[in-house]
Amino acid sequence: MIERPLTIVVTGTVEDRLNTNAAIRTYVARGLRDLGPHAVVVHAIGCEALAGLRGADHVKADLVLAVGGVAVDASNLCRLRRFADRAGAVLAFWLHDDPYEFDYAFRLRGIADIVFSTDRWAAMHYGDVPAAHLPLAACPHTHLRPVDRSAPRDLALFFCGYAYQNRIDFLREGAPLLRRHRTAVSGDQWPQDLTFARNERLSPSAFAETAARALLTLNIGRDLSIANARYNLAPSTPGPRTFEVALMGSAQLFVAESLEVLDYFERDREIILIDGARDLERWLERARDEPDALLAVAARAQERALSEHTYAQRAETLLGELRLLGLLPRRGAAPGAPPLAIAAE
């Protein structure tokens, strides 16, 4: 018997105007579609459009996957539950703001059939809400750039992101050194004393193009939690930029707060771990003296990301977990997509 494809609705938890990471939902939908029409039929419906569906407009679905966070008061979680019930679908959430908004996890009780948390440590604290760990990933359609060893790289080091205080402190400590090298920093709220920083938000494409021009791309996590007082959880899983930059063809300097990153990339061969700004000099000198060695790191990281860390691979893992739990019909095992273990507190 020919198995029918799964019908999956990918939506958000809040309106896009309230979500600065709305692009992630687009990447998730694209990753699901990359599994092929024989496997899934994907409907990408924003919260605004979903709220306007009435009666006969409702689709029948196997899965409603809500991507985002639940801290914003405007998130209408009950509406998502009603939509999933009318569609006859499982309701899963893929939350990308753990652990920084973990105190709002209680809102999912009685709403979610399962939560996928992007943070391994946070996933273990959901208690009576079924939860599993699923990191974010990279989208080859958006982030992939060639590692061209013959093309000149006009930047020694690049960083893109919001100016959280820990990032400001890091770059201020390294500023005397960074001013002597070709350094570019982009984002929001950077202070004027960091003369190599520009307050400009880059599109995903511009971000990828700039990283592809840099021998080194700096990866510094955030230290600002919105609602994380209950357990004061430290982040454990690297954010999406780690996987995205790997596809962009730039060697990463990863400021290590957790060694979980080594579950995804091999130290010094695919990613470079540093403790602080004092480690920058060694690697900037290497960018000047041995650029080919850093391009080799970038190439190996890109190969690893393409084989293990795209949204298509995450989609396979997510669907495999739902089948393992009996929430979706079981099918033949997909190669290279081992099921996750449900997290237990």
In a domain, 74, yes or no: yes
- Shared domain for 18 and 146, answered yes or no, is no
CB crowding 70-89: b at 16 or more within 10 Å, else e: bbbeebbbeebbebbeebeb
Sequence-ordered list of residues with C-beta below 8 angstroms from that of 55, at least 6 positions apart, any chain: none
Whether the CB-CB separation of 277 and 181 falls below 8 Å is answered with: no
Ramachandran region, residue 36 (left: φ > 0; alpha: ψ -120 to 50; beta: rest): left
Residue 54 has what pLDDT? 65
The answer to whether residue 331 sits within a structural domain is no
Contact between 142 and 245 (Cβ < 8 Å): no
Looking at the structure, do residues 155 and 303 belong to the same domain, yes or no? yes
Whether residues 178 and 128 share a domain: the answer is no
Between CA 200 and CA 189 the distance in angstroms is 9
**Domain interval for residue 183:** 141-308
Total number of domains constituting the chain: 2
* Beta bridge pairs of residue 267: 271
**Residues 238, 259: Cα–Cα separation, whole Å:** 9
pLDDT tens track for 7-53: 999 999 988 887 778 899 999 999 999 999 999 999 999 887 877 77
- Residue 344 binned pLDDT confidence (cut-offs 50, 70, 90): very low
Same domain, 188 and 177: yes
Say whether both 122 and 164 belong to one domain: no
Residue 264 belongs to some domain of the structure: yes
Q: What is the CATH number of the domain that holds 277?
A: 3.40.50.2000
Token pair recorded at residue 264: 């995804």
d(CA 144, CA 63): 29
The pLDDT score that the predictor gives to residue 340 is: 42
pLDDT digit string, tens, across residues 233-279: 899 999 999 999 999 999 999 999 899 999 999 999 999 999 989 99
Helix orientation angle between 204-212 and 240-248, rounded to the nearest 10 degrees: 60
Across the beta sheet with 131-133, the strand order is 40-44, 6-12, 63-68, 90-95, 114-117, 131-133
Task: Please tell me whether residues 181 and 295 are part of one structural domain.
Answer: yes
Q: Are residues 100 and 242 in the same domain?
A: no
Average pLDDT over residues 290-301: 98
Instruction: Read off the pLDDT of residues 152-169 as tens digits, 9 standing for 90 and up.
Output: 899 999 999 999 999 999
Q: Please list, in sequence order, all residues whose beta carbon lies within 8 angstroms of the beta carbon of residue 341, skipping any fewer than 6 positions away.
A: 132
Residue type present at position 33 = R
Q: What is the mean pLDDT of residues 175-179?
A: 97
Q: How far apart are CA 92 and CA 114, in angstroms?
A: 5
- 66 and 28 both lie in a single domain: yes
- Say if residue 316 is in the same domain as residue 304: no
Backbone dihedral region of 310: left (phi > 0), alpha (psi from -120 to 50 degrees) or beta?
A: beta
Torsion of CA 26, 31, 35, 39, to 10 degrees: -50
Q: Tokens at residue 273, please?
A: 């771990």
Residues 163, 117, single domain; the answer is: no
| C-alpha to C-alpha distance for 224 and 163, rounded to whole angstroms | 11
- Give the distance, in angstroms, between the CA of residue 16 and the centroid of all CA atoms in the same chain: 17
What pTM was estimated for this model as a whole? 0.92
| Co-location of 160 and 299 in the same domain | yes
> Do residue 251 and residue 303 come from a single domain?
yes
